[in-house]
């Protein structure tokens, strides 16, 4: 069996694809997985380390670009389509999965032309431009949120849309089956998404003054992105905090396993991982996310009692330090938040999607 997973660009698209790849390997040993992405996307860095083959195609995005860059992207499209066609003709996959992101478009479009089975995975409440365009050509569409159904059902056949949740990597699911590792210090995990967040980095640096009273009881793991890593590491050291600062967390499962509390953005994949692990969180939504979906995600968790939300416009070091201190000093509340987070999780999403894909291909379990 051969499966192509196309797309990526950011962790929000890429990591659900990796979760599905691992689940295919679990359910069908010997399956051959090929990822197709771009040289600029996160997949160029992550997929080789995961041990999967990666092919690159020339393609770019359109949203938020200047006129010149949009023209350049359009001019690249024929080359991206041609490269996708050649890959598909060579590999002859049994299934093509589009996980969103630039590379997904040409590959799924060419799969339709070649009459290959093709499915879409949409992790966000509001679908991206690529999946909105491709929906008319999909044999199945897998959604993370029930409210996303209306975006797809008007342009797909009856019964082709499934709401199974956002696929989460199995090592993260394993981390969620046990409480945080107990040690002499509490662990605070700070994550700004796959590229890091300058707003969170700045707020944490400012928050250290307000965390002085808990410094001796606190250990910090901070995923900062490339730009701020060196400066943050030096600043934590100067202030006397025990902190591990890394540009990118790999494997992130170990950080989740250790975390008593998480400070992070609220993208769909991060929220799926938090709830799969049952970790309490302070969520700071990215304010420029499409259709404000990060704020919607964060608000849903906050209203369920699984997290606190601080909007970026209200984010200060003082407020962040106060929220961290209050939560870490209230073990009963942390436990309640963790339980409610677990209740929101859909840990079986990847398993359900792969089983449904196998049925689509005629490999009934």
- Does 268 map to a domain? yes
Residues 180, 163, single domain; the answer is: no
Domain match, 260 and 157 both = no
Token pair in block for residue 104: 């997904």
Round to whole Å and give the CA distance between 362 and 64.
41
Residue 72 covered by a domain: yes
Q: pTM score, two decimals?
A: 0.89
Same domain (yes/no): 153, 7: yes
Tokens 């590491």 label which residue?
Answer: 233
CA–CA gap between residue 103 and residue 226 (Å, rounded): 24
- How many residues does this entry show for the chain? 365
Q: Per-residue confidence of the chain (365 residues) as pLDDT tens digits?
A: 999 999 988 888 999 999 999 999 999 999 999 999 999 899 999 999 999 999 999 986 545 444 555 566 666 678 889 999 999 999 999 999 999 988 999 999 999 999 999 999 998 888 888 899 899 899 999 999 888 888 888 655 567 999 999 999 999 998 877 777 777 899 999 999 878 899 999 999 999 999 999 999 999 999 999 999 999 999 999 999 999 999 999 889 999 999 999 999 999 999 999 999 999 999 999 998 877 889 989 999 999 999 999 999 999 999 999 999 999 999 999 999 999 999 999 999 999 999 999 999 885 44
79 vs 81: CA distance, rounded Å? 5
Q: Do 186 and 161 share a structural domain?
A: no
Q: Are residues 123 and 182 in the same domain?
A: no
85 found inside a domain:
yes
d(CA 312, CA 260): 22
Six token digits for residue 297: 């995600």
The residue assigned the tokens 């900062």 is 224
Work out how many domains the chain is built from and give that number. 2
- Cα–Cα distance list, 256 to 10, 171, 250 (Å): 20, 10, 11
94 with 199, same domain: the answer is no
Q: Give domain status of residue 365, yes or no.
A: no
74 and 131, same domain (yes or no): yes
Q: Tell whether 224 is covered by a domain.
A: yes
Could you tell me the two tokens for 30? 């010997």
Assign 215 to helix, strand or coil.
Answer: helix
Range(s) of the domain holding residue 330: 172-344
Asked if 187 and 123 sit in the same domain, the reply is: no
| In a shared domain, residues 258 and 309 | yes
- In this structure, the answer to whether residues 354 and 275 fall within a common structural domain is no
Strand ranges in 152-241 using DSSP code E only, listed in sequence order: 161-163, 186-191, 218-223
Residues 315 and 193 both lie in one domain: yes
Cβ atoms of 19 and 170 closer than 8 Å? yes
Q: How far apart are CA 296 and CA 298, in angstroms?
A: 6
One domain, residues 236 and 331: yes
Question: Could you give the CA distance from residue 191 to residue 181 in angstroms, rounded to a whole number?
Answer: 19
> For residue 263, what is the domain's CATH number?
3.40.50.2000
């Amino acid at each position: 069996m051969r499966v192509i997973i196309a797309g990526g660009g950011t962790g929000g698209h890429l990591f659900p694809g990796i979760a599905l790849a691992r689940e295919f390997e679990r359910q069908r040993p010997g399956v051959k997985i090929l990822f197709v992405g771009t040289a600029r996307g996160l997949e160029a860095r992550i997929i080789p380390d995961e041990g999967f083959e990666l092919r690159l195609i020339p393609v770019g995005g359109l949203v938020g670009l200047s006129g010149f860059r949009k023209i350049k992207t359009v001019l690249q499209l024929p080359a991206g389509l041609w490269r996708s066609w050649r890959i598909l003709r060579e590999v002859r996959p049994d299934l093509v999965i589009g996980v969103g992101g630039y590379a997904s478009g040409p590959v799924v479009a060419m799969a339709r032309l070649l009459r290959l089975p093709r499915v879409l995975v949409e992790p966000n409440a509001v679908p991206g431009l690529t999946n909105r365009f491709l929906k008319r050509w999909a044999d199945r569409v897998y959604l993370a949120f029930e409210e996303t159904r209306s975006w797809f059902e008007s342009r797909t056949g009856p019964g082709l849309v499934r709401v199974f949740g956002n696929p989460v990597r199995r090592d993260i699911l394993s981390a969620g089956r046990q409480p945080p590792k107990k040690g002499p210090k509490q662990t605070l995990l700070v994550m700004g998404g796959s590229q890091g967040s300058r707003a969170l980095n700045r707020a944490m640096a400012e928050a250290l003054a307000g965390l002085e009273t808990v410094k001796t009881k606190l250990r910090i793991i901070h995923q900062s992105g490339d730009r701020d890593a060196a400066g943050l590491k030096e600043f934590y050291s100067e202030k006397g905090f025990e902190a591990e600062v890394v540009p990118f967390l790999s494997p992130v499962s170990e950080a989740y396993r250790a975390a008593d509390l998480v400070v992070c953005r609220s993208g769909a994949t991060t929220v799926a991982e938090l709830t799969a692990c049952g970790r309490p969180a302070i969520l700071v939504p990215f304010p420029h996310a499409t259709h404000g979906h990060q704020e919607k995600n964060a608000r849903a968790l906050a209203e369920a009692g699984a997290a606190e939300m601080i909007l970026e416009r209200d984010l200060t070091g003082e407020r962040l330090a106060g929220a961290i201190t209050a939560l870490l000093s209230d073990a009963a509340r942390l436990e309640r938040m963790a339980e409610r987070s677990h209740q929101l999780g859909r840990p079986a999403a990847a398993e359900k999607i792969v089983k449904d894909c196998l049925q689509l291909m005629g490999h009934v379990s």
